[in-house]
Chain A
Amino acid sequence: MNERQANTLVVTLVTIANLFIAFLISGIVIWVLGEDPWFALKTMLYGAFGYDEGLGYTLYYSTNFIFTGLAFAIGFNCGLFNIGAEGQAYIGGLGVGLICLWLENWPLWLVFPLAVLVSIIFGGVWGAIPGYFKAKRGSHEVVTTIMFNFIASVIMVNLLSHVLRPPKEMSPESREFGERVWIPQMHEIFDWFGLEITQTPLNGTFIFALVCLLLVWRFIWYTRWGYELRTVGINETAAAYAGISVSKNIIIAMVIGGGLAGFVGINEIMGSSHRLMLNFQAGIGFTGIAVSLIGRNHPLGIFLAALLFGILYQGGAELSFELQTIDRHMVVLIQGLVILFAGALENLFRPQIEQLVKRISSEDS
């Protein structure tokens, strides 16, 4: 076993151990509540992918987390802690919504690329401003991106309450877009091939998300720009010495991150709700941070972590539905424990596992 394989093994084992502890504690809490933890786990897993409807919802949530997870990872690889994916997704969604409202009678093959472009521009601008402040003025991105989340929220509420809301409509949301610009849902796509699956909000955006995973992976590790980005992330001074513009890379990372977060709007607005509404991004941006950290800021890890959080969201909802004593706060607790152990306390078991792997690999050789 070479060093790289050993590292991968350690990371995998550490993550599994952390998840195990998180689920063990959740199980104890469920047991204290008077429910059967084993049954709860089965309900949750069955609800998440035991049948096609559950799986559809799981992947639908995962799609969002892939985007915001990537948004965070891009920044993280450049040494930034971008917690503004929430606001960037919100504003990106605004762009998507405006395009769909404006061009609702155009064919999808034309509107989709436009919507992608516009969500990159909107989300990107929302990331670029804090990025500019960071690069040129040294304002810390944690503070500025949080502030931009609030600004985004205020803008959206005002637009939706006063401008985009049709008269006489109670909900602060826009009218529904014309059906021509709806992204086909998965059951429709399967239907083209003569396969029948249950209708869920899972839509073509999932495929787009997989493409994004691939593109980001190529970008970060196999392009010059990605190399510059990572260099800045590892050591700014060294990067500057090597002739890499630090401020340029910070802004680029924030723009790409914002654009990726903006794609949440494609999935939510264009693919699922077909109207612009308040808080469609609720919590997705923040969960993206956990997804990226658990996934070690690598696209493959992000995909798996996004899947995990999709399972927690969908399975958790099923759990609170099936077991009426377990309410939604319990589900939040489970999610919190996963974030705590797999994200914040990731190194809890690392020394022991590293030693174990070392012993195994030395026995090998």
Chain B
Amino acid sequence: MKRLISSVLLVGVFLWSASQVMAYKPAVVFDMGGKFDKSFNEGIWNGLEKFRKETGIKYREFEVQQEAQREQFLRKLAKRGSDPIIAVGFGQAAALSKVAKEFPKTRFSIIDMVVDLPNVQSIIFKEHEGSFLVGVLAAMKSKSGKVGFVGGMDIPLIHKFACGYVQGVKYINSGTTVYQKMTGTTPAAWSDPARGASLAKTMFDSGADIVYAAAGSTGLGVLQSAADNGKMSIGVDSNQNHLQPGSVLTSMLKRVDVAAYEVFKTGYDNSWKAGFKVLGLAEDGVGWALDEHNAKLVSSAMKSKVEQVRKGIISGSIKVHDYMSNNKCPVE
């Protein structure tokens, strides 16, 4: 009898959990870049794939190609009962705020943007803090006293990276020169490695020895150029140290994969919460990469200094200005 009850219970639990699996239908809407953009969208895709492999739960996805499709397919997913739904990128904010109002019971998460609604979780990153740290590393590593920055498309978000970086450099040595260049003013600036390489080359020729690239796949050209010229580069978003081992000083990590994974995970165990989620150094949402590929490049003095600065930023004793708070940077 006891065995019968326990086996019935077991079957019950099994069925219940099976039904839970059936009922959980997460979804994601990637933005224009597409899920294999080697950058932002792909980082998110990586996080979601990790969730799928761990739990075996499939998710629905859609890659936006037209402006109007953002709203159309966010709505379509919500209508089909998908929940939670991740909207990738700041471009989806307007569409999401409309759709989220129509489906107040569906949980939405938007990455890289704030949408202030009771059923929306807004996940944003303090890129300026992470950039500050790699700026500190660059300034300490530089022998020439000149470093560079190559941005992608000329938009405020990229100025935020640049401004944090310059602040970090000047924090160590206010006399260091920082060359800054944006690749372009159109979205093509995100995917132009050749232009990235030539911009970096110009900086190396003017004496810079480290260049930080925050430019999508354009940055791959910067990394290549640094390796070819015997100089150094700094990667962005994901850990790019392995791309040119020994030449990439470090990478500014922006853990969109973790953020995306967390959305599906917390949605699954019902600990998902609406509201703001600001991921900075304190939350490990941004950081700098240290692995076997760059271990030799980073001295212990640099390590302890950057660790000290990291703690300073977390405790608030070092203030990093956010470019987007007033569209100005205090240092050039």
CB atoms of A313 and B324 under 8 A apart: no
Interface centre among A170, A172, A313, A321 (most CB of B within 10 A): A170
Binary per-residue interface labels of chain A (272-287) against chain B in the complex, 1 for a CB within 8 Å, 0 otherwise: 1101011110100000
- Closest beta carbon of chain A to B92's beta carbon, Å: 9
Residues of B contacting A275 in the complex (Cβ-Cβ under 8 angstroms): 94
A327 within 8 A of B: yes
- Closest beta carbon of chain B to A197's beta carbon, Å: 15
- Closest beta carbon of chain B to A187's beta carbon, Å: 14
Interface residues of A in 195-211 (CB under 8 A from B): 200-201
CB atoms of B60 and A324 under 8 A apart: yes
A26-34, A160-168, A247-255: which lies at the interface: A160-168
Partner of B65, one of A158, A172, A277, A317: A317
B186 within 8 A of A: yes
Residues of A contacting B186 in the complex (Cβ-Cβ under 8 angstroms): 150, 153-154, 157
B176 within 8 A of A: no
Q: A167-B327, A170-B113, A170-B324 are in contact. Are A321 and B73 (CB under 8 A)?
A: yes
CB atoms of B72 and A57 under 8 A apart: yes
Measured in the bound complex, the distance between the Cα atoms of B107 and A178 in whole Å is 29
Q: A153-B186, A167-B327, A321-B62 are in contact. Are A172 and B155 (CB under 8 A)?
A: yes
Residue of B nearest to A154 (CB): B185
Measured in the bound complex, the distance between the Cα atoms of B72 and A327 in whole Å is 17
Measured in the bound complex, the distance between the Cα atoms of B324 and A272 in whole Å is 28
B1 within 8 A of A: no
Q: A317-B66, A317-B69 are in contact. Are A279 and B156 (CB under 8 A)?
A: no
Residues of A contacting B185 in the complex (Cβ-Cβ under 8 angstroms): 153-154, 157-158, 161
Partner of A273, one of B60, B61, B72, B94: B94
Residue of B nearest to A171 (CB): B90
B91 within 8 A of A: yes
Measured in the bound complex, the distance between the Cα atoms of B187 and A157 in whole Å is 9
Residue of B nearest to A165 (CB): B156
B325 within 8 A of A: yes
Q: A268-B67, A317-B65 are in contact. Are A168 and B325 (CB under 8 A)?
A: yes
Binary per-residue interface labels of chain B (290-332) against chain A in the complex, 1 for a CB within 8 Å, 0 otherwise: 0000000000000000000000000000000000111100000
Residues of B contacting A277 in the complex (Cβ-Cβ under 8 angstroms): 67
CB atoms of A279 and B155 under 8 A apart: no
Residue of A nearest to B112 (CB): A170
- Closest beta carbon of chain A to B201's beta carbon, Å: 23
CB atoms of A157 and B156 under 8 A apart: no
Interface residues of A in 276-317 (CB under 8 A from B): 277-280, 282, 313, 317
B157 within 8 A of A: yes
Partner of B90, one of A170, A280, A331: A170
Binary per-residue interface labels of chain B (6-48) against chain A in the complex, 1 for a CB within 8 Å, 0 otherwise: 0000000000000000000000000000100000000000000
Number of interface residues of A (CB under 8 A): 35
Residue of B nearest to A160 (CB): B155
Measured in the bound complex, the distance between the Cα atoms of B65 and A48 in whole Å is 16
Residues of A contacting B113 in the complex (Cβ-Cβ under 8 angstroms): 170-171
- Closest beta carbon of chain B to A51's beta carbon, Å: 12
Measured in the bound complex, the distance between the Cα atoms of B90 and A61 in whole Å is 24
A245 within 8 A of B: no
CB atoms of B34 and A324 under 8 A apart: no
A320 within 8 A of B: yes
CB atoms of A273 and B67 under 8 A apart: yes
Residues of A contacting B68 in the complex (Cβ-Cβ under 8 angstroms): 57, 60, 201, 272-273
Partner of B67, one of A168, A280, A320, A321: A280
Q: A275-B94, A321-B73 are in contact. Are A170 and B157 (CB under 8 A)?
A: yes
Binary per-residue interface labels of chain A (56-91) against chain B in the complex, 1 for a CB within 8 Å, 0 otherwise: 010011000000000000000000000000000000
Residue of B nearest to A150 (CB): B186
A328 within 8 A of B: yes
Closest A-B pairs by Cβ, 8 of them: A157-B185, A170-B90, A153-B186, A328-B63, A201-B68, A154-B185, A171-B90, A172-B155
Known: A57-B72, A161-B154, A170-B157. 18 other contacts (CB 8 A): A150-B186, A154-B185, A161-B155, A161-B156, A171-B90, A171-B93, A171-B113, A200-B72, A272-B67, A273-B67, A282-B66, A313-B66, A317-B73, A320-B63, A324-B60, A328-B34, A328-B65, A331-B65
Show the binding face of B for A, using Cβ within 8 Å.
34, 60-63, 65-69, 71-73, 76, 90-91, 93-94, 112-113, 153-157, 185-187, 324-327
Q: List 7 A-B contacts (CB under 8 A).
A: A170-B93, A171-B91, A171-B93, A171-B113, A272-B68, A282-B67, A328-B65
